[in-house]
Each structure stands twice: as structure tokens, then as C-alpha cells.
């Protein structure tokens, strides 16, 4: 078995990743599958923090475009991330992994408040930390929450799980000429307007030199491969490996 490359990771799952083919809500089968993969890397001694989106339940921007107050809609979106976080916590604990959900919005009956030092302590003890409620602020996304938390806890990399195996020049599902990039710089992602992480999240990673790896979560074993440094997906850093 290959050596571990990253000891502390932040894994960002979109809400849609939990929905599976049904496209909405939470698929119990997907939860079990993802939890099993996370359990494998935890067993290898990798410290894992998770940020889960809420798009499978509620998206602030979508609701505000239909007339709802944006801030209220965003708070609803943040609550949706908590539902996903609790679902993932349950799935992980069923696999024997100890977890803690830390919420950016106080919800003390169901989650600990987000306290950075506490998050670090949990990680040191081998617990999976699930950051709920995004950044706690409207007008942000869980991609940005992932970048922010990754920085705060000193994660070595952000792993952004998607349904395709990396970043393409166009949507590979609809454009047969779409080419896959193995590595890109933050500036290229921003300048080309590639919709992999939102611009705020990408800039935050760029300013703090935190690598992002975009990879396909739908293939089993991929989380372990990325953690072991196998070049799957697309890595985004400050400078490219090959010219």
C-alpha cells in the first residue's frame, strides 16, 4: 500500500454529492459509500475535516432569485448543511469512526460551536471533524467555508469532490472537445472562469498557497488515491509542474 502524502486534509463534498442519482435530498447508499472511504483513510492515520454543502436541500441564491430575501435564504442554506453534516456523522459513526460536528451557527443541542482550537484538538485525537453551517455568514458558499477552515486548521490540501475526474476546458458531458487539465494555477482558474471552486474560495487558497485537488468521488477508492498522492484529477497550485 502506498505511503500517505497528506496527513491532514479538508474534504469538501457538495450537497449534490449526497443526493446521488435522485438529485435531491440524501441517498442512504451514497452516505454509506462515502463514509466507508473516509473510514479507510482515517484508519491510515489521516486527519480528516469535512465541509458539506447544502445544495441538495436548499440554495440561498436560487431562493432569492425567486424573490426571497437573500440573507434569510442563505441562513436556510446554512441550516441545510447542518442536516447533511448530521447525516454524514451518523454514517461515519456506524463505521466506527468518531466524529464531531462543529457549527458556525450556535445550535448547541445538536452540534458543538465552531472553535478553532477545539477542532484541532479533535483532529489530533483522530476524530473526523465536520464543519456545519458554512462560514456562518450569508453571501458566502461552502466552498469558501472549506478554504477558510482548511487555512484555520492547517490542512495541507483541500480535496474537492465532484462528479467528473478533474477540471475540463468545457463540460465533458456536453462537449466532446473538452480537454482535461492535470494541473492549473489559481490565476488560470480565475482568469478562465472555470467553475470549480467559486472565486472567493480560489482567491483565498491563492493568497495562502493552499493546494486544491479536484477529483471524481463517484469512483470508489479515489479518496485514498488522492491522499496517497496519486495524480488523479486536477491539482491547482501557485505554479505548474510542467511549464
Residue 85 C-beta: closest distance to ligand UDP, Å: 12
Cite the beta strand spans of 79-168 per DSSP E. 99-103, 112-113, 128-132, 157-162, 167-168
**Which window, 105-113, 121-129, 141-149, 187-195, contacts ligand UDP (CB under 6 A)?**
141-149
With binding defined as CB under 6 A, does residue 20 bind ligand UDP?
Answer: no
Local structure of 191: helix, strand or coil: helix
Binder among 89, 135, 162, 222 for ligand UDP (CB under 6 A): 135
Which residue of this chain has its Cβ atom nearest to ligand UDP in the complex? Answer: 53
User: Residue 130 corresponds to which cell in the numbers above?
Assistant: 465536520
Can you read off the three cell numbers belonging to residue 192?
Answer: 478562465
d(CA 69, CA 37): 38
Task: Residue 127: name the closest of 142, 110, 112 by CA.
Answer: 112
| Residue of 78, 83, 102, 129 that binds ligand UDP (CB under 6 A) | 78
Instruction: Reduce the DSSP state of residue 197 to 3 states and report it.
Output: strand
Integer Cα distance of 226 and 167 in angstroms: 15
195 binds ligand UDP (CB under 6 A): no
132 binds ligand UDP (CB under 6 A): no
202 binds ligand UDP (CB under 6 A): no
Of residues 38-77, which lie at the interface with ligand UDP (CB under 6 A)? Answer: 53-55, 59-61, 73-74, 77
- 174: CB partners within 8 A, 6+ apart: none
Q: Rounded to the nearest whole angstrom, what is the least distance from the CB of residue 81 to ligand UDP in the complex?
A: 6
- Our finding on whether 149 is near ligand UDP (CB under 6 A) is no
Is residue 141 within the footprint of ligand UDP (CB under 6 A)?
yes
Spatial distance between the Cα atoms of 126 and 73, rounded to a whole number of angstroms: 35
Residue matched to cell numbers 458566502: 140
Contact between 233 and ligand UDP per CB under 6 A: no
Summarize as ranges the residues that interact with ligand UDP (CB under 6 A).
14-16, 53-55, 59-61, 73-74, 77-78, 80-81, 134-135, 137-138, 140-143, 145
Amino acid at each position: 500500500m502506498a505511503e500517505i502524502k497528506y496527513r491532514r486534509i479538508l474534504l469538501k463534498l457538495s450537497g449534490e454529492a449526497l443526493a446521488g442519482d435522485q438529485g435531491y435530498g440524501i441517498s442512504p447508499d451514497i452516505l454509506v459509500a462515502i463514509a466507508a472511504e473516509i473510514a479507510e483513510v482515517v484508519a491510515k492515520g489521516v486527519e480528516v475535516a469535512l465541509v458539506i454543502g447544502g445544495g441538495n436541500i436548499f440554495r440561498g441564491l436560487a431562493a432569492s432569485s425567486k424573490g426571497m430575501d437573500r440573507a434569510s435564504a442563505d441562513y436556510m442554506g446554512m441550516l441545510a448543511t447542518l442536516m447533511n453534516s448530521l447525516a454524514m456523522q451518523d454514517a461515519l459513526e456506524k463505521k466506527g469512526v468518531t466524529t464531531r460536528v462543529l457549527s458556525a451557527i450556535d445550535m448547541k443541542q445538536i452540534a458543538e460551536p465552531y472553535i478553532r482550537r477545539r477542532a484541532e484538538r479533535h483532529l489530533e485525537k483522530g476524530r473526523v471533524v465536520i464543519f456545519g453551517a458554512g462560514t456562518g455568514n450569508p453571501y458566502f458558499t461552502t466552498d469558501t467555508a472549506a478554504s477558510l477552515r482548511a487555512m484555520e486548521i492547517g490542512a495541507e490540501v483541500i480535496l474537492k469532490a465532484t462528479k467528473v475526474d478533474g477540471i475540463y476546458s468545457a463540460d465533458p458531458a456536453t462537449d466532446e472537445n473538452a480537454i482535461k487539465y492535470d494541473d492549473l494555477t489559481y490565476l488560470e482558474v480565475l482568469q478562465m472562469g472555470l467553475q470549480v471552486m467559486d472565486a472567493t474560495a480560489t482567491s483565498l487558497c491563492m493568497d495562502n498557497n493552499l493546494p486544491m485537488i479536484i477529483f471524481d468521488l463517484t469512483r470508489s477508492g479515489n479518496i485514498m488515491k488522492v491522499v496517497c498522492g496519486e495524480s488523479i484529477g486536477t491539482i491547482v497550485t501557485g505554479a505548474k509542474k510542467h511549464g
